[in-house]
A and B are shown apart, each in its own frame.
Chain A
Amino acid sequence: MVRFVFARLLRALITILAVVTFAFVVLRMSGDPAQVMLGPDVPQDAVDAFRNAWGLDQPLWIQYLAYIKSIFTGDFGVSMRDKASALQLVLERVPATLQLTIPALLLKLMIGVPAGVYAALHRQSAIDRGVILLAILGFTLPSFVLGLLLVLVFSVILGVLPSGGQDTWVHGLLPTITMSIGGIGILARFSRSAMIEVMGQPYIRTASAKGLKWSNVVWNHALPNAAVPIITIVGFMVGSLIAGAVVVESIFSWPGIGRLLVVSVSNRDLAVVQCILLMIAATMVLSNLMVDLFYGWLDPRLRHQTAH
């Protein structure tokens, strides 16, 4: 077990380092931050002074080594725009994003999974077809279209909900709904498929033949076995809690990590972009690690394989 955890952690570290390196190189190869930050009209003296002040006139490999050294000492650099700690800027935005992504995740789980399970248990019925139709509609509708449609209906036409901003919790309703619709559709489809597959297994027939109550068969035999693929999807959703609101935050002017990332990339605010990517990678890797461990808890066969 220790070797299993150690191997997973090592893989996680390598993944994070790869992400950091890739981001470092791509950001610098795709445009001089001084020119991007200062715009097209500033004099060359100002551009040169900026590059010198931020060490951008150093060879790339020296900049890279300095950066790696600093992140290992917990220093994630300073924002070129705000002259403040990049980590502090990023952490300030995390709560705003989580205010959207966590309720959205809960909505996905509370609606998507039961809908999928219910549809599987009533296969070929009108409800099943309705769930499938809505699920496909949900995850094929891009969030930027859905968001604008919701604003048009609830803000412009009905005038009952605000169209953007973060002033009160009411402002979070439309973005949360926009973010959750696609995920509800995905979870409903996966839950339905997983349940249909499990319900066709011999052990379900055996449990039914033993005379167990139907609810007992579903809750204790079908659902735990159907949970493994669902957990995989939920793992991805948890992993994207930090990064999953980029489009929605832009549409609804929600000041979270997504908007900070967009602004920082377009301004080539290197330290902030790298800090966000590092956090996203770490969240995703950690989420996957937890999913791996959760598999073992859910499925004794995996635990058994792991022991060997």
Chain B
Amino acid sequence: MLSINRRGALGLIGAATGSLILPRMTFAQGKRPSVTIAVQKITNNNTLCVWNEQSNVGERVFFPNLWEGLILRDWMGNQGPIAGLATEWKRIDDKTLELKLRQGVKFHNGDELTADDVVFSFSKERVFGDTEPKGGKTIFEDDHKPTTAKELPASVPGIGRRLWPALAGVEAVDKYTVRFHNTTPDVTLEGRLYAYGSQIANRRAWDEAASFTEWARRPVTTGPYMVSEYKPDVSLTLVAFDEYWGGRPPLEEIRFVEVPEVASRVNGLLSGEYDFACDLPPDQIGAVEAASGFEVQGSTILNHRISVFNTQNPVLADPLVRRAMTHAIDRKAIVEALWGGQTVVPPGLQFDIFKTTDMFIEGWQAPEFNPELARDLLKQANYKGDAIPYRLLNNYYTNQTSNGQIMVEMWKQVGLNVEIQMKENWAQIHDPEGIKGVRDWSASANINDPVTPMVTQFGPNGEMQQKKDWTNAEMNDLSVVLETSTDRAARKKAYARILEICEREDPAYQVLHQNAVFTGMKSSLKWKAAPAFAMDFRSNNWTM
């Protein structure tokens, strides 16, 4: 309990008044301002570890302000790779990538970034645990082990191996040169280096922490801001790191506060308490924009909403029925009705970022809305109106429930009998008991190559096939080509064929729309939202 006397109360009132006035004074004096950002969730797993917290909300607080990789994602540009902690890189062969580290880069604890930190960041102790790379053995570990062992969260090695299935190890060639050795040929190594998870941590800070949790609550990195205070489920405060290699950060402090209710985030923004309110649903955009001095910035992100089919369902075993389901959905109507036209229907499971590696299949489109064709396909399948269960979560994704209800009605229009079954969590969605049918999902491009999400989500080791929802022998063969071939033309051809299989011939999923994120903010702030959850507060994206 707070103990308040008259003097204390006066002091608190003074402090509260000061806290309201001071930030404005700092603006006035030309000093660096601070910002407060209201978010629905700071992290899901209550750590700031890039491997343990693989989530959209994690992306927001991590990038590009806290964690940095050897190669960075161009957050404010085309989302492609740009030089980061490495200044240049070259291929030694199909399995080996050599990178030159940027010299003079400082960690938040004052240490200089060296090859040793890079080797540690991809070590068994930090990520891979007792897993071994596909098709080979781990190498270069012994000389660069951290001196203290930490108990990794049980899920981290599996998550690490999903992004780096065949990484044998990292070799420290000299103080500023490292080589990544893969057991199999891989043209996507550069892309994997700027994916979520491949960021560099300081080895000494790991050694000095008493436990993984202690380290993961205050990771020492090279980013422009460092952790000042982290109260799980409450707030995260980052402060400027003035020795940042990219120049003096423009903000003194970034404070993320967890405000789970959207109405509370909007109210807090409008009352001036927050500078930014994140995770606004489309129906709140009007309320913020109607207020003087506020605006909403929104953009599509590298994540598509999809719904996937379970082919163990006797009705859905017939690809004709699945095809009918894909042609029964008017995606443009959904985008207009639920998103106010603020997002798009993508050209199948493709992302613009694939254009940077020439892996974008021009001319490919999502299944056309054609109710006649859908009815005809159902007739060919001899569909008799059997119920198809649709396990649905209550708005895990934005507008999910409304979207599900609209789709059920659209399916009904062509004669499909889809029944919604509301579920509370993902375990209930995946429960092997009972008959499955359709469920919602999303697919992300973590790198600039269709290996994500195509192989990682729908390939032989992807969740779709691991959960026995769907499988296709040709798709599995093509996944190997996409993962290991170094022939770019063959890879692109394989990807095009995969799209044909997964979206037309033997549908595994149907693409609905691209996901989008909306942030309410004070119009006076000269800041632009990236096409991502990440919020860039580096000097190039903040003007006084």
Q: List A residues at the B interface (Cβ < 8 Å).
A: 30-50, 52-54, 81-84, 95, 98-99, 102, 148, 151-152, 155-156, 159, 162-170, 172, 250-253, 255, 259-260, 262-263, 266-268
Alpha-carbon separation in the docked complex, A167 to B237 (Å)? 14
Residues of B within 8 A of A163 (CB): 264, 267-268, 271, 273
Q: Which of B252-260, B329-337, B413-421 contacts A (4 or more CB under 8 A)?
A: B252-260
Alpha-carbon separation in the docked complex, A75 to B18 (Å)? 44
B271 touching A169 by the CB < 8 A rule? Answer: no
CB distance from A41 to the nearest CB of B (A): 7
Residues of B within 8 A of A102 (CB): 1
Residues of B within 8 A of A52 (CB): 154
B319 in the interface (beta carbon within 8 A): no
Alpha-carbon separation in the docked complex, A33 to B428 (Å)? 11
Q: Is the interface of A mostly helix, strand, loop or mixed?
A: helix
B92 in the interface (beta carbon within 8 A): no
Beyond the given pairs A44-B467, A164-B268, 10 more chain A to chain B contacts, judged by CB atoms under 8 angstroms and listed by A's residue number, are: A42-B155, A44-B463, A46-B157, A46-B158, A83-B153, A169-B4, A169-B12, A170-B16, A253-B261, A259-B260
Alpha-carbon separation in the docked complex, A7 to B236 (Å)? 49
Residues of A within 8 A of B429 (CB): 40
Residues of B within 8 A of A252 (CB): 264
B233 touching A151 by the CB < 8 A rule? Answer: no
CB < 8 Å neighbour of A251 from B16, B233, B264, B457: B264
Alpha-carbon separation in the docked complex, A52 to B130 (Å)? 15
A170 touching B12 by the CB < 8 A rule? Answer: yes
Give the interface size class of chain B. 35 or more
Residues of A within 8 A of B156 (CB): 46
CB < 8 Å neighbour of A31 from B154, B258, B271, B424: B424
CB distance from B518 to the nearest CB of A (A): 19
Residues of B within 8 A of A40 (CB): 426, 429, 441, 463
User: From residue 111 to 132 of chain B, which have CB atoms closer than 8 A to chain A?
Assistant: 131
Alpha-carbon separation in the docked complex, A84 to B233 (Å)? 14
Residue in chain A with minimal CB distance to B440 = A40
Residue in chain B with minimal CB distance to A79 = B46
B425 touching A255 by the CB < 8 A rule? Answer: no
Instruction: Mark interface residues in B256-293 (1 if CB within 8 Å of A CB, else 0).
Output: 01111101100110111100000000000000000000
Q: List B residues at the A interface (Cβ < 8 Å).
A: 1-2, 4, 9, 12-13, 15-16, 19, 44-46, 54-55, 131, 153-159, 161-162, 211-213, 231-234, 257-261, 263-264, 267-268, 270-273, 424-430, 441, 444, 457, 461, 463, 466-467
Alpha-carbon separation in the docked complex, A83 to B213 (Å)? 7
Given A159-B271, A255-B234, A259-B260 in contact, is the A83-B212 Cβ separation under 8 Å?
Answer: yes
Residues of A within 8 A of B2 (CB): 99, 169, 172
Given A84-B213, A167-B19, A169-B2 in contact, is the A31-B268 Cβ separation under 8 Å?
Answer: no
A49 touching B233 by the CB < 8 A rule? Answer: no
Residues of A within 8 A of B457 (CB): 41
B273 touching A162 by the CB < 8 A rule? Answer: yes
Residues of B within 8 A of A44 (CB): 158, 463, 466-467
Rank and list the top 4 A-B pairs by shortest CB-CB distance, nearest first. Answer: A46-B158, A31-B427, A45-B158, A53-B154
CB distance from B60 to the nearest CB of A (A): 16
Alpha-carbon separation in the docked complex, A47 to B466 (Å)? 12
Alpha-carbon separation in the docked complex, A32 to B467 (Å)? 14
Q: In this complex, which of A156, A164, A259 has the most chain B Cβ atoms within 10 angstroms of its Cβ?
A: A164
Chain A to chain B contacts (Cβ below 8 Å), 25 pairs: A31-B427, A34-B427, A35-B430, A44-B463, A45-B157, A46-B159, A81-B45, A81-B46, A82-B213, A84-B213, A99-B1, A148-B267, A151-B267, A155-B267, A155-B268, A159-B271, A167-B16, A168-B16, A169-B4, A169-B9, A250-B260, A251-B263, A255-B231, A262-B260, A266-B425
